[in-house]
Structure 1
């Protein structure tokens, strides 16, 4: 019989040691190993929870282990991390069961190390109410411990957004996200999807802003539901849905989506255009383009034209050819930590600085494809202002033929409207962090 905690340790090893994507490797192991529904849920909880609170957990372990935890056996360290997560953040699993499971699992590695695991966890339980590590240091250090962020990332949010909003970003980035789906208006009406999901035992509510957004509060895996398989719905965060809505789309337009994969925005654009006109779905990677094709086929989207090329490199056929150009550029992803908590540990300042050059190259190149009076839309799923506000300000200064158009969805607590016109969506219960700017070409 496969031990779900053993599966969780395997996933954590791939994510933390090999920089694998949590959602991809988790899905792979869940599909490969014969786990029942309850055990699949436990593995998912342990993986995402441990990744989410790794900084805090490691700080605790540091105070109970004399040696450098970075030099410990990786599997033993992840067993300890996973166990402290259960003991500190989960209430349904009895403490003795957590410790016993950890000891038995670590015995597979080493009887000697299993004694270390037992000692550390029991020591933590004896002293959990008098921990000193959560009170050490300045205010920033305490935020890092409370919300489990490395100092440089916490400082980035606090410096760029101020203490109140910055702390809110830290807090809300730890929210366990609900699944949001987009109703495919090419195939079905919103009310029909709503009624069908209710009939099948799902607890649902309307999206916050987009009329086609529907939030799954509770229910079984939506991707196994016939509504998904038939293309009536697709999984997409509502922040991401906002992008197509700001594009002022009309039927029979020519639209370029230069960073298309996996195709959520391209297909949404096609749906809003009612399968008319042309939507060029472009991406650098051929294997990712196959995902766009699969999504379009399932959704009944017929007006996509597929292209594999580098968005930084000029393509002559698109010169002044598009009514709308979307560049959802590669970014640091600091707005989607809710869904991919490993971003806290896999990103660093150098990698973000390198992205800015790519983002600006894509923006300059994409601007050549916009018709006069056409529109260029820039979006990211990060909250780093260097990749967002500063990039747009730089571009407008270099390209005075483009002017920012104001974006306005109404009064929402998690949307920051900059006076220049672009918006920042902050993470909350229902939406990821996002940034969108819309620019019109006047000459």
Structure 2
């Protein structure tokens, strides 16, 4: 199969199943033989179509009779073609149209229709005018930036129009590749020199002392994920025993937890192990992390990551932390609750997250998040620390959960995140002392964290 055929197969699978882009693309790469260049192109097409789906449908809707019913395959083909025409500058329009039309070549009538629509997009898309930002801001952002209307409305109401515009624009950019280096094994500056010697362009993180960022200057185009031209070289880098792929905002959470050098930490939502292995490395052999998750499969992945990184001070436990006996927490110095969340802070890396959640699902998440925090609070010892964190920007999942918790558990106090993160920008700390990262303000994934001490 050629790259466009593989991309179409991925998009059709995503339209039928509630699965992540990364899992579908990885499965396709295991099934079909593609060289590095073709894999990058598949990534560009699949991630790009999902990211810009609403915009693509709006543009296509200007040239397709609304009475004409498209099945999922032909809608996906049209989206693929429109995406190439609107967002991939390196592909000649005639080639994009011809190759896309070939995806429907079994039906002559359909190929003629797809060809006509895509040629109209090529000729006239630049003349289209989106709904006015002044009079119809929700529609303008939803169609021009490709976001669900309910989310745009929610953000405008809670954050304001300027914030929503800036956040949506930043969240459509492609995130750089962030690496966490085990500084117990490797000096960061020396590792950067090594990366330069093999042709990569690293820079040290300004947020954390063990972070390295590789910019996207080697990426095929602006619309795909963090896959570099030097695929094989990069694979060798990220599979080393002193490297873990992790965004800088996620690394910050571990530092927020580690201020008092705890010796026993419980990670209640641990898989796949990014924060678990980070904390375990920081604690060292004199301490221990108990990694808890609800499924054995996820903990298997965590143990594999521990094995690759040489982390030996982690024990795992498969339980439902909202209902199981958590009395073992009484001996812990600190508990991390990296709660399941909407993931809206990571839209640069996971563009499908914007389409996979509803307002009702956020309410379900809110209940789960509070139950996790409540369960840990009932067992943590006096003086113990709970860090509650998410990778979302939703206030109901962040400040809302912590505020509700503090009302019901007055024996807990907020400790200012700035005291634990001295290098953090001032605008990353809320008036309450919480850590709040926004991609449009800080250039990294959105995240939230609160450090709570039982008195």
Range into which the TM-score falls when normalised by the shorter chain: over 0.9
Structure 2: distance between partners of 1:176 and 1:187: 30
Residue range with higher mean Cα deviation, 362-371 or 213-222? 213-222
**Residue in structure 2 matched with residue 257 of structure 1 by the alignment:** 267
**Residue in structure 2 matched with residue 132 of structure 1 by the alignment:** 129
**Residue in structure 1 matched with residue 139 of structure 2 by the alignment:** 141
Query: TM-score by structure 1 length?
Result: 0.94
Residue range with higher mean Cα deviation, 228-237 or 349-358? 228-237
Deviations 1:331-389 (A, max 9, x none): 11111111111111111111111111111111100112322111000000111100111
Structure 1: distance between partners of 2:123 and 2:287: 67
SS in 1 for 2:100: helix
Deviations 1:18-52 (A, max 9, x none): 12100111111123211111111111011111111
1:343 paired to 2:342: no
**Residue in structure 1 matched with residue 405 of structure 2 by the alignment:** 395
Q: Please show how residues 213-292 of structure 1 align to structure 2 within 5 Å.
A: 213-217=211-215, 218=218, 219=228, 220-221=230-231, 225-249=235-259, 253-292=263-302
**Residue in structure 1 matched with residue 53 of structure 2 by the alignment:** 54
TM-aligned CA deviation for residue 221 of structure 1: 3.6
Query: TM-score by structure 2 length?
Result: 0.92
Structure 1: distance between partners of 2:399 and 2:143: 29
Deviations 1:186-236 (A, max 9, x none): 322212321211111111111130011101124434785434333111100
Q: Is the alpha carbon distance of 1:319 and 1:93 closer, same or farther for their aligned partners in structure 2, counting shifts above 3 Å? A: closer
Residue range with higher mean Cα deviation, 240-249 or 323-332? 240-249
**Residue in structure 2 matched with residue 433 of structure 1 by the alignment:** 446
TM-aligned CA deviation for residue 139 of structure 1: 2.1
Structure 1: distance between partners of 2:344 and 2:210: 25
TM-aligned CA deviation for residue 276 of structure 1: 2.3
Aligned length: 439
SS in 1 for 2:284: coil
TM-aligned CA deviation for residue 61 of structure 1: 1.2
Q: Please show how residues 65-144 of structure 1 align to structure 2 within 5 Å.
A: 65-67=64-66, 71-108=69-106, 110-135=107-132, 138-144=136-142
Q: Which runs of 5+ in 2 are unaligned?
A: 219-227
Structure 2: distance between partners of 1:262 and 1:276: 23
Q: Is contact 1:415-1:426 (8 Å) kept?
A: no
Deviations 1:138-181 (A, max 9, x none): 12221222211111111222222222222211111101111100
Q: Is contact 1:370-1:441 (8 Å) kept?
A: yes
Structure 1: distance between partners of 2:233 and 2:299: 20
TM-aligned CA deviation for residue 412 of structure 1: 6.1
Structure 1: distance between partners of 2:432 and 2:123: 55
Q: Is contact 2:36-2:231 (8 Å) kept?
A: no
SS in 2 for 1:437: strand
SS in 2 for 1:320: helix
Q: Is contact 2:207-2:423 (8 Å) kept?
A: no
Structure 2: distance between partners of 1:191 and 1:411: 18
Deviations 1:279-299 (A, max 9, x none): 001100100001110111111
Structure 1: distance between partners of 2:72 and 2:45: 16
Structure 1: distance between partners of 2:232 and 2:208: 19
Q: Is contact 2:208-2:252 (8 Å) kept?
A: yes
Structure 1 vs Structure 2 CA RMSD: 1.9
Q: Is contact 1:182-1:235 (8 Å) kept?
A: yes
**Residue in structure 2 matched with residue 11 of structure 1 by the alignment:** 10
The counterpart of 1:201, out of the listed 199, 202, 226, is 199
Q: Which runs of 5+ in 1 are unaligned?
A: none
